[in-house]
Amino acid sequence: MDKPAPHPRFRGRPPRSALQLTEQEIRQSYWRYSNAHIFPQKALRADVSVQRYAVFPRPYYVDMLKTCVECSRAFIFYAREQHYWYETLGFYIDVDCVRCVECRRKQRAAKRHMERYAELQARDSLSRKEMMHFVDDCIFLFQQGQLKNLSHLGSIKNAALQQIPDYAGTKTLQLLLQSARTIGEIS
Ligand SMILES: [Zn+2]
C-alpha cells in the first residue's frame, strides 16, 4: 500500500498520554475497532462524559488506517483528530471519517463556491468585487463538472467582459469556454 496521505495538523504530534493497553483491550472497547487497521501503541483515553452516543461510547481513540472514498489513497484518522471531532466539535460518536484531509478540504471549498454562486446568481446586480467572486465560482464549479451549461456560462462571461474586462478570471473563463466549445465540436 502507498504511504498514507499526510495530515498537516495531526501528524507527528506525541500522544497526550501513554496508555498501557493491549491491542485486544482496544479492539474490544468499541465495535469499529474490532476489524479495523489500528495502531494500538497510540491510544488516547477518551472523556466519554462529553461524547454523543446512543448506546456505546468510545472509551479510547486510536490511530486508524483508512482508505479515502474519494481518491482511494490510504490515510490515517488520528487519535488526536478523533478527540477533536468527538469531544470538541461534538460529532456523534459513530460518525466515521471516510475522506482524506485533502479531499475533505476540497469538499468544503466546493460547498463554499456553490453557496456563494447560488447567492450571487440570485442578485439583480453585482458590484465589481462580487462579479470577481462570481467569475471565480463559475470557473471552479465548471472545472469540477458541476456547472455544465455553456450558454449560461457564456452569458456570465459576457457580463464579466462588460464589467470587469481587466480581471484575470474573466480571461480564464473565456479560455475555458473556448476550449470546451472546441472539444464539443471535435467530439
Ligand atoms: Zn482523498
pLDDT tens for residues 84-118? 999 999 999 999 999 999 999 999 999 999 999 99
Q: What is the mean pLDDT of the chain?
A: 91
The arithmetic mean of pLDDT across residues 74-92, rounded, is 96
pTM of the model: 0.70
Burial of 83 per CB tally in 10 Å (0-12, 13-18, 19+)? middle
Ion ligand 1 residue ranges (Cβ < 5 Å):
68, 70-71, 100, 103
* Mean per-residue pLDDT, 143-149: 91
Max Cα–Cα distance, the chain, nearest Å = 68
148-168: average pLDDT = 96
Domain parsing of the chain, residue ranges: 23-99, 104-186
Q: How far apart are CA 64 and CA 42, in angstroms?
A: 10
CA of 109 to the centre of ligand 1 (A): 14
Task: Decide: helix, strand or coil at residue 8.
Answer: coil
| Dist. CA 82 → ligand 1 center (Å) | 18
